Amino acid sequence: MTETITRFAPSPTGRLHLGHAHAALFAHGAARQAGGRFILRIEDIDTGRCRPEFTDAILDDLAWLGLTWDGAVRRQSRHWDDYRAALDRLAAAGLLYPCFCSRKEIEAEIAAAGRAPHDGDGPLYPGTCRRMDPGRRAERLATGAAYALRLDSAAALARTGPLVWHDREQGKVAARPERFGDVVLARKDTPTSYHLAVTVDDALQGVTLVTRGRDLFAATDLHRLLQALLDLPVPDYHHHRLLTDSDGRRLAKRDRALTLGALRASGLAPAEVRAMAGWR
């Protein structure tokens, strides 16, 4: 049987809160229970919002909670080449195109079309730059205009056919990556995206069980598509519950009183905070 490898992959955009503690303890517990390995990855590709001092605080908070991780901590911002290689491969397969659109231009195009397909989060990209005349595209590239790289989702799906993945609670799930449309895989300001980096890293780090909150359930459909396109192994998934505040709202950065920093400063012991995060 293969060894179970789980991971916790926070973004250092602030202090961890109880919801993060729940996720970290979940992943840690799943690995330890299976006699496997638990790894830690810092998802700091968004260099505008991530801060090294938050990375330090994350490591400190997790150690304070009593967590131990195996091997070196991977910091995504030190691995641009890995994401570049994945992009090159998708580009070589003809599955990417440069998108020069600004947010405003996309909104205007959608408004002009009357409506656009929706993914629940917002309207999908209307495909403006996918339809761009090749000569015009070459001209824009030659001017050095900034561009994002988008996945040609119809071409990608035609290549892979229907895909499934497995969730430990939901069982077999039929992937619907089309709900993301022509998703951005490299941003204008960052040479990758969350979706690409997380999929590449889970494979590179040998993660066999991805545990994370249910808010990322739909994202797994897209990650499954990227795995198929990049010939990556498919881990098992467990999307766990999200902690909520007394009004039933999911915990977020706004809940400052529930950061591990604030809870530690209030004099609580690690065992008490673990219990608040739903673990003994």
In angstroms, rounded to a whole number, what is the distance separating the alpha carbons of residues 20 and 212?
10
Binding ligand GLU by CB under 6 A: which of 4, 6, 11, 259? 11
Single out the segment in contact with ligand GLU by CB under 6 A; choices: 4-12, 57-65, 158-166, 266-274: 4-12
Binding ligand GLU by CB under 6 A: which of 4, 6, 10, 193? 10
43 is a contact residue toward ligand GLU (CB under 6 A): yes
CB of 34 to ligand GLU, least distance (A): 18
**For residues 87 and 141, is the Cβ–Cβ distance under 8 A?**
no
CB of 220 to ligand GLU, least distance (A): 9
SS3 state at 120: coil
Within 225-264, the residues that bind ligand GLU by CB under 6 A are: none
59 is a contact residue toward ligand GLU (CB under 6 A): no
Looking up tokens 């091997």 gives: 71
Single out the segment in contact with ligand GLU by CB under 6 A; choices: 9-17, 115-123, 131-139, 152-160: 9-17
CB of 10 to ligand GLU, least distance (A): 5
Residue among 90 and 198 whose Cβ is closer to ligand GLU: 198
CB of 30 to ligand GLU, least distance (A): 13
9 is a contact residue toward ligand GLU (CB under 6 A): yes
Q: Can you spell out the DSSP letters for 50-94?
A: --HHHHHHHHHHHHHHT----SPPEEGGG-HHHHHHHHHHHHHTT
CB of 237 to ligand GLU, least distance (A): 10
Residue among 21 and 198 whose Cβ is closer to ligand GLU: 198
> How far separated are the first and last CA of the chain, in Å rounded?
29
- 70 Cβ partners below 8 Å, 6+ apart? 37, 38, 39
Interface characters, 209-228, with ligand GLU (x: CB under 6 A): ---x---x------------
Interface characters, 166-205, with ligand GLU (x: CB under 6 A): --------------------------------x-------
**For residues 262 and 197, is the Cβ–Cβ distance under 8 A?**
no
74 is a contact residue toward ligand GLU (CB under 6 A): no
90 is a contact residue toward ligand GLU (CB under 6 A): no
In angstroms, rounded to a whole number, what is the distance separating the alpha carbons of residues 161 and 240?
28
CB of 152 to ligand GLU, least distance (A): 24
- Between CA 16 and CA 17, with CA 255 as vertex, the angle to 5 degrees is 15
| Nearest one of 130, 224, 138, 233 to 178, comparing CA atoms | 224
Ordered alpha helix ranges (H), the chain: 18-33, 52-65, 80-92, 103-113, 134-142, 153-160, 194-204, 219-230, 260-265, 270-276
Q: What is the dihedral of CA 126, 219, 164, 199, to 10 degrees?
A: 110
Q: Residues in the site for ligand GLU, rule: CB under 6 A?
A: 9-11, 43, 198, 212, 216
